[in-house]
């Protein structure tokens, strides 16, 4: 299947590294994952070499799926999720993106609550230094009869340099009338008072920064089987930014 290269006018590719995409084109087929009714599924993805990873998921009635993502590597790294939830299904995304230099890192999600009673939780923490760009585009779509949908999006980004860029766009498209969809979004810098407090106790500026950032991303991998490994990899990358 041949597709046209995306342009800046494509909302889902607006902040992407188009030069990098041109080199990767055509993209590999999206991965399809089906979690059957009542099934349980969990996976961790460590994106440490660059590239575009597209996943289409379908969760059957009452299925539970959790995806943990650490997006840290390559000049351009993009994780794209298209998740469809059927009656009473539950989806969790816990993701950290950590970038420096001129890296561009993206997480782009579409979570469709196609039927009633499904729940979804997305937590994304992004740390950016240098001239890096980090983006989260997250759409939650609730179908007309998908009542009792409960969805949350918690999106936070930390900029270590004024030259780094964070884009965050939680988006809701709701056609049902009895749903809960919470979304929070914040982009900030490290608290200079907290940094001074840590340094006044003996931590070097680099160690103080790493400790605060470790706290910032902590929690996103809670529940992952290999949470400790993901934390350690995240910490190593955070340390490299200091």
Partner 1 sequence: MLQINNLHATVADKPILKGLSLQINAGEIHAIMGPNGAGKSTLTYTLGGRPGYEVTDGSVSFDGQDLLALAPHERAAAGLFLGFQYPVEIPGVSNVQFLREALNSQRKVRGEEPLSGGEFLKIARAQADAMGMDMEMLKRPVNVGFSGGEKKRNEMVQMGILDPVLAILDETDSGLDIDALRVVGDGINRIMRKPDKAVLLITHYQRLLDYVKPDFVHVLAGGRIVRTGGPELALELEEDGYKEMAA
- Please tell me whether residue 204 binds partner 1 under the rule CB under 8 A: yes
- Please tell me whether residue 190 binds partner 1 under the rule CB under 8 A: no
Nearer to partner 1, 12 or 211 (CB): 211
CA distance 167 to 19: 19
- Please tell me whether residue 219 binds partner 1 under the rule CB under 8 A: yes
- Please tell me whether residue 202 binds partner 1 under the rule CB under 8 A: yes
- Please tell me whether residue 212 binds partner 1 under the rule CB under 8 A: yes
- Please tell me whether residue 194 binds partner 1 under the rule CB under 8 A: yes
CA distance 30 to 161: 34
Element holding 13 (H helix, E strand)? none
Nearer to partner 1, 38 or 188 (CB): 188
Which region, judged by CB under 8 A, interacts with partner 1, from 31-39, 133-141, 172-180, 206-214?
Answer: 206-214
Q: Kindly state the smallest distance separating residue 211's Cβ from partner 1, in Å.
A: 6
Element holding 192 (H helix, E strand)? helix 192-200
- Please tell me whether residue 101 binds partner 1 under the rule CB under 8 A: no
Edge-to-edge order in the sheet of strand 133-142? 31-35, 51-59, 76-85, 104-113, 133-142, 165-174
Nearer to partner 1, 113 or 237 (CB): 237
Among 36, 184, 188, 205, interactor with partner 1 by CB under 8 A: 205
Compute φ and ψ for 189, nearest 5 degrees: -125, 165
Cβ atoms within 10 Å of 233's Cβ, excluding its own: 20
CA distance 242 to 206: 5
In the three-class reduction of DSSP (H, G, I as helix; E, B as strand; rest coil), residue 129 is classed as: coil
- Please tell me whether residue 197 binds partner 1 under the rule CB under 8 A: yes
Among 27, 45, 203, 235, interactor with partner 1 by CB under 8 A: 203
Compute φ and ψ for 20, nearest 5 degrees: -65, -40
Residue pointed to by tokens 């597709």? 3
Which region, judged by CB under 8 A, interacts with partner 1, from 49-57, 90-98, 108-116, 198-206?
Answer: 198-206
Among 13, 15, 91, 216, interactor with partner 1 by CB under 8 A: 216
Burial class from Cβ neighbours inside 10 Å (0-12, 13-18, 19+) for residue 153 reads: buried
Q: Which residues bind partner 1 (CB under 8 A)?
A: 191-194, 196-205, 207-208, 211-212, 214-216, 218-219
């Amino acid at each position: 299947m041949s597709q046209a290269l995306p342009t800046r006018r494509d909302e889902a590719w607006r902040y992407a590294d188009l030069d990098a995409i041109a080199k990767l084109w055509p993209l590999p087929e999206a991965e399809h994952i089906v979690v059957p009714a009542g099934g349980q599924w969990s996976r961790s993805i460590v994106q440490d070499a660059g590239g575009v990873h597209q996943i289409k998921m379908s969760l059957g009635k009452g299925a539970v799926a959790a995806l943990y993502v650490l997006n840290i590597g390559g000049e351009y790294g993009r994780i794209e999720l298209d998740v469809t939830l059927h009656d009473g299904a539950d989806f969790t995304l816990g993701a950290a993106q950590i970038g420096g230099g001129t890296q561009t890192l993206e997480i782009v999600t579409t979570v469709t609550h196609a039927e009633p009673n499904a729940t979804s939780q997305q937590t994304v923490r992004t740390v950016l230094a240098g001239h890096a760009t980090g983006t989260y585009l997250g759409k939650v779509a609730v179908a007309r009869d998908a009542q009792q949908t409960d969805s949350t999006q918690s999106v936070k980004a930390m900029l270590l340099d004024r030259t780094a860029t964070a884009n965050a766009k939680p988006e809701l498209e709701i056609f049902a009338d009895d749903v809960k969809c919470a979304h929070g979004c914040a982009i900030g810098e490290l608290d200079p008072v907290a940094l001074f407090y840590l340094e006044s106790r003996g931590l070097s500026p680099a160690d103080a920064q790493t400790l605060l950032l470790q706290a910032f991303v902590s929690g996103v991998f809670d529940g992952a089987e290999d949470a400790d490994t993901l934390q350690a990899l995240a910490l190593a990358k955070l340390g490299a930014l200091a």
